[in-house]
Amino acid sequence: MARGSTAGGALGRYVLVRFLLIIPTVFILVTTVFALMRATGDPITAALGGRLTPAQLAERIHEAGFDRPILAQYGEYLAGIARGDFGTTLSDHRPVTEVLTTYGAATLELTAYAVVVALVLGIPLGMVAAYFRDRWPDAVLRVLAILAYATPVFFAGLLLKLVFAVGLGWFPVAGRVSTSGEIAMRKADAASGFMLIDALRTGDPQVVGDVLTHAALPATALGLLTAGVFLRLVRTNMIGTLGREYVDAARSRGVRERRLVTAHAWRPALIPVITVIGLQVALLLVGAVLTETTFEWRGLGFQLAEYLKARDFVAVQGIVALIAVVVAVTNFLVDVIAAFVDPRVRY
């Protein structure tokens, strides 16, 4: 009983510490974003310089408060974030929070699809590579893993688009849903921003299939980036687990090698994968910018690219700050899950 209480206390302390670490992590990330954006000058000049007279430009800068000391701007920026106010975009005069709520769901949905693709491909193929260690299936899978995470995500997206959408016509070329599917969701008053959830709320299998076919290529292009990492990670940890004493004991009792892989070795080998997922989410969010642009998937990545073209650094600053918060929270959740799965993490 005392041992269980001690373990529970250790877990509680670990979760509390990891949660409190979110605050300085987000603070450092947000401060870095602010400093990088201000390093290029004030956002008004960056966005509208050359299109306004010097007098008009000076007036706009004064109205926005960008002529004040940098520390005063920084303090106001932090206070605004604490209130949930990320400012107003310069190019289309929309609150940044409105941009985040309008397009954030699309990016989170694409990232979730990509994680599913990475897990479905990376874990089983990693187990297969470990089972056939140092034989030709292992060699082929290792080469494919290197190609998967070394290929630029935009190139993978274009290749998939040209072959399966333009060439074979199996999947849509771009977008998140067809016009008919969008009309069906509007009739069902389904507007959560997550297309799959909205499609399920219509109760129409054709609308659900429409959403999934639109998501297949962008999710695969983005998921391959992480699938290669998972494959090599699972393979390495599976080989290490297969050399453990308890596995050798099971092998000496006559347990078949395939049974050892599927029943004894795969769960311990997944613990590092759970930890790495948090790091990969950041990579996927960065890759989402290129993937969304390639497939015209109108999420935060697509909007970020548009705002960069317009040199709207207020919008860019808000979007990047939100991504930083999402990454920090995701890492916290992954750490908590890893602590539940592997008690050694708590100490």
Query: Hey, where are the domains in the chain?
Result: 21-85+311-346, 96-310
pTM of this structure: 0.76
Indicate left, alpha or beta for 152 from its phi (over 0: left) and psi (-120 to 50: alpha): beta
Round the CA-based radius of gyration of the chain to a whole number and report it: 24
Provide the β-strand partners of residue 88. Answer: 95
Q: What is the pLDDT of residue 269?
A: 67
CA distance 87 to 30: 14
Total Cβ atoms within 10 A of residue 195: 25
Q: What is the pLDDT of residue 347?
A: 47
CA distance 77 to 292: 28
Q: What is the pLDDT of residue 261?
A: 66
CA distances from 269 to 124, 127, 225, 275 (A): 12, 9, 20, 11
Q: What is the pLDDT of residue 108?
A: 84
Q: What is the pLDDT of residue 2?
A: 47
CA distance 37 to 50: 19
Our CA angle for 83, 34, 15, nearest 5°, is 60
Our CA angle for 305, 307, 309, nearest 5°, is 70
Nearest CA to 93 among 62, 126, 118, 60?
Answer: 60
Q: Who contacts 214 (Cβ-Cβ below 8 Å, separation ≥6)?
A: 171, 172, 175, 176, 177, 178, 195
Query: Could you tell me if 145 and 228 are in contact, meaning their C-beta atoms sit under 8 angstroms apart?
Result: yes
Stretches in the chain below the pLDDT threshold 50: 1-5, 347
Q: What is the pLDDT of residue 1?
A: 46
CA distance 110 to 106: 6
Nearest CA to 194 among 124, 91, 113?
Answer: 113
Alpha carbons within 13 angstroms on the beta-carbon side of residue 230 total 30
Q: What is the pLDDT of residue 59?
A: 73
For the stretch 167-178, pLDDT in tens is: 888 888 888 888
Token pair belonging to 312 = 């709207």
CATH of 96-310, one of 1.25.40, 1.20.120, 1.10.3720, 1.10.3470: 1.10.3720
